[in-house]
Amino acid sequence: MDPRAAEQHLRRANEVARRSLSLGRHPFGAILVAPDGATVLAEQGNVDSVNHAESVLARTAAQNYAPAYLWQCTLVTTVEPCAMCAGTQYWANIGRLVYGMTEKRLLELTGNHEGNPTMDLPCRRVFASGQKAVEVTGPVAGVEEEIAALHRDFWAAPVVLQHTTAT
């Protein structure tokens, strides 16, 4: 995916994160981009602490598309996927990843916040532990500050989360 398209898709994912925030959820967003690099096949905001945007999107994609097709697709997400989400992407066979901001940068913004007990396990290390070479691009400097701004405001405020059941 070329850098201009990556930034455009990351901005769309950040709008998904903004919608998630408006629903009382953590501000994370992800989209699935088709092999043509332009068509958005799906988008997903964060649901709760075990149904992250990326993992829900990857599971839904795996139910709806063939593994060979998904290997050519790109998961675009606002923040570097955690170990759970990277593993779900790996098992869903989505071959490419673009993220806007690192997990380490997120930790700088959240601190020791009980709502986001960040793990220091980069997605590249998770993917390297497998047998498939997932292509990773990120962080993307051109949009990192836009994504960080949404998180900075959110994690600085007292957190009141809605508990929802994933459907």
β-partners of residue 74 are 33, 96
For residues 76 and 86, give the distance between their C-alpha atoms in angstroms, rounded to a whole number.
12
Largest CA distance in the chain: 44
**C-beta neighbour count of 138 within 10 angstroms:** 21
Catalytic hit among 7, 15, 54, 108: 54
Tell me phi and psi for residue 165, to 5 degrees.
-105, 130
How far is it, in rounded angstroms, from Cα 41 to Cα 57? Answer: 10
114 counts as catalytic: no
Active-site positions? 54
